[in-house]
Amino acid sequence: MTSPDRNLMLLTTPFHRCIADVCELNDWGVWMGYTTPNAYFDVELEYFAIRSTTGVFDLSPINKYRITGPDAEAFLNRMVTRDVSKIGVNRVGYAVWCNDAGEMLDDGTIFRFGQNEFRLCSYQRADEWLAWCALGFDVVIENESDDVAALAVQGPTSCTVLTLLGCTDLNQLKPFGIAHYEFDGVPLAVSRTGFTGDLGYEIWIAPEKAEVFWDRLFEVGKDYLIKPIGSYALNIARIEAGFLQARVDFVPAEEAVRPGRTRTPLELGLAWQVDFAKPLFNGREALLRQKETGCTYRFVLLDVEGNKPAHHSFILKNGKTIGTVTSAAWCPTAKTNLAFAQIQMPHGESTDALVAEIYYQRELHWTKVLAPCKVIDAPLFNPARRRQTPAPPH
């Protein structure tokens, strides 16, 4: 008899066998209750696969909700801050959502498969919040997290590799577009989306075909130097691309315990996501008020002098602490020492002379560095191939 406690072990994704075969470091982490690789062979080499060849990341644990019904669009439109009606069929949109106080709950992507058919991918589990949001709407919400296997296939050669796999004319797919194919007798959806800021795709397929897909992908990709990548490498890429992560760059509002720890989209540099022209969405009244009265914090990207990543650093201005770093990395392609920081208003203007107080240890010796840093408008890594259609040949 199997112990019931064992039945509740960490889950493995549909790609697990394939991943375990090639995970040379055997370095695993936990993501959404699944065993996922932190690194396969070398974090830096994995990172460069994304930027120079093709990196493959197992995306299966991400939360996926199928949203259908006559009110599906209206439902999503009330839930997220952007205008969902502007997302066309077979298009994907980034979205953030808030509670009534305008505090960020999470961000994610909305896939539109039909007039009344959507998939919401969210970083946090959202079953309860979706159920509350669904009150009064004629929608059906199904958690399909376990029913869809997903891979991120990212990098300059990714289009070529997937085309070889049978994704005809994939280079014609515009950023945030979705194309539908068949693979081994089952539907295969490919979206030109990703968390790396590079040319790249995400593929969505039935779990039964996951292993076959992986094997075929690596077979055809071999000559294009395809590599599996783990979460450490992905994290560098997402910071370089300027993407936020829930629980890292902001506290999801319904998990916040201490007063003043939540942030609104306006305070997280996501004002472009908030469409006040929409009549109603969660947090609208509060965000409108905040727009008038002003924010308490702002979210900035910092170019930090030197090469010491400013992990968890305080940000100082004239010797006074005015903020803290939430994410930081040395970005190997942009050759930048990048940090995301939450700064108290009114500080954090591009003209401000800011300093990051960085502590690092070498041979048991702690060093404090006061590294000047400057506020930058946009991530320094933003290659043309990310936006080009047709996608450039490698």
Q: Using CB under 8 A as the criterion, which residues of the chain lie in contact with another protein when the complex forms?
A: 1, 3-5, 8, 10-11, 30, 33, 71, 74-75, 78-79, 99-101, 125-129, 131-133, 135-137, 143, 252, 254-260, 279-285
Q: How far is the CB of 135 from another protein (least distance, A)?
A: 4
Please name which of 97, 105, 88 lies closest in space to residue 275, comparing C-alpha atoms.
97
Which C-beta is closer to another protein: that of 43 or that of 133? 133
Give min distance, CB of 69 to another protein, in A.
12
Nearer to another protein, 11 or 212 (CB): 11
Number of H helices, E strands in the chain: 9, 19
Q: Residue 239 or 246: which CB sits closer to another protein?
A: 246
- Burial (0-12, 13-18, 19+ Cβ within 10 Å), 221: buried
Q: Enumerate residues 6+ apart whose C-beta is below 8 A from 146.
A: 207
Min dist CB 99 to another protein, Å, is 5
Give kind and range of the element (H or E) at residue 17: helix 16-22
Q: In the complex with another protein, which residue's Cβ is closer, 266 or 356?
A: 266
Q: Please, which residue, 16 or 238, has the CB nearer to another protein?
A: 16
Residues contacting residue 331 through CB under 8 Å, at least 6 positions apart: 236, 239, 240, 337, 338, 380, 381
Q: How far is CA 28 from the centre of its chain?
A: 20
d(CA 101, CA 104): 9
Cβ of residue 250: shortest distance to another protein, in angstroms? 14
Minimum distance from CB of 263 to another protein (Å)?
14
Residue 194 and residue 123: Cα distance in Å, rounded?
A: 13
Between residues 52 and 296, which has the closer beta carbon with respect to another protein? 296
State in angstroms the smallest separation of the CB of 293 from another protein: 12
